[in-house]
Amino acid sequence: MTQVSTLSWSSFAALFNTQGLYQVGYAWLFGMTLWVTFVGGVIAFKTLPRQQFGTLQHRTFPVYFVISIALSSGLLGLWTYSHPTVLTEYLKPTNADVAQAYALAVVLLTQASNHFVIGPLTSKTMFQRHRLEKQEGKGYNEPGVSDDMKALNKTFAKLHGVSSLANMTAFLSLLFHGLWIGNNGAGIKSIL
């Protein structure tokens, strides 16, 4: 028979432990990545005029990437602290604890790359394209655009593709980690 737990202020306060905070941090990061990748961006793209959509993404993505970097850094730090074999066997990706650390490191690296390098280059190219559209008096995809516009289109497509691939890689890494901790637990040691 299952024992019934009674809630009290002390049992509520006990919820705020390292294990619980790890789970909340992971849930926040995974949910945010899922939303930005598959839901929010699609809705905005279908709803807003293209240039407004681009401006929204330009403002939203830096916040998303900073939160992703902070959360994935915290999760990776807690995972490494709680699983010391990560540091002693870091060259053994078949070690499950090491593989999970790699997954979190991939999230950190892809989101940091997007925030510090790929995202700014993509935004710069997008705004150059917006300016050139105004100068030429036609959309970027209309017939007869200049060679400069064609070059910007090609650059933007490459950068956007790399950014999307990096973000999808982060999402898949988080999915892998979530499935792992859902089946095996996170095993986070208390530091509080």
Mean residue pLDDT across the chain:
96
Residue 1 has pLDDT above 80, yes or no: no
Q: What pLDDT is stored for residue 182 in this prediction?
A: 97
Contact at 8 Å (CB) between 47 and 101?
A: no
Reported as a single tens digit per residue, the pLDDT across 24-82 is 999 999 999 999 999 999 999 999 999 999 999 999 999 999 999 999 999 999 999 99
Q: What pLDDT is stored for residue 31 in this prediction?
A: 98
Tokens 């990560």, residue? 86
- Rounded CA separation 155/143 (Å): 18
| Domains of the chain, residue spans | 17-184
Contact at 8 Å (CB) between 23 and 17?
A: no
Task: Give the pLDDT mean for 80-102.
Answer: 98
Residue 107 has pLDDT above 80, yes or no: yes
DSSP state of 89: S
pTM for this structure? Answer: 0.93
- Rounded CA separation 28/60 (Å): 16
- Rounded CA separation 152/147 (Å): 9
Residue 167 has pLDDT above 80, yes or no: yes
Percentage of the chain modeled with pLDDT above 90: 92
Q: At what angle are helices 119-136 and 50-82 packed, to 10 degrees?
A: 180
Q: What pLDDT is stored for residue 55 in this prediction?
A: 95
Q: What pLDDT is stored for residue 150 in this prediction?
A: 95
| 3-state helix, strand and coil shares in percent for the chain, rounded to the nearest 5 | 80, 0, 20
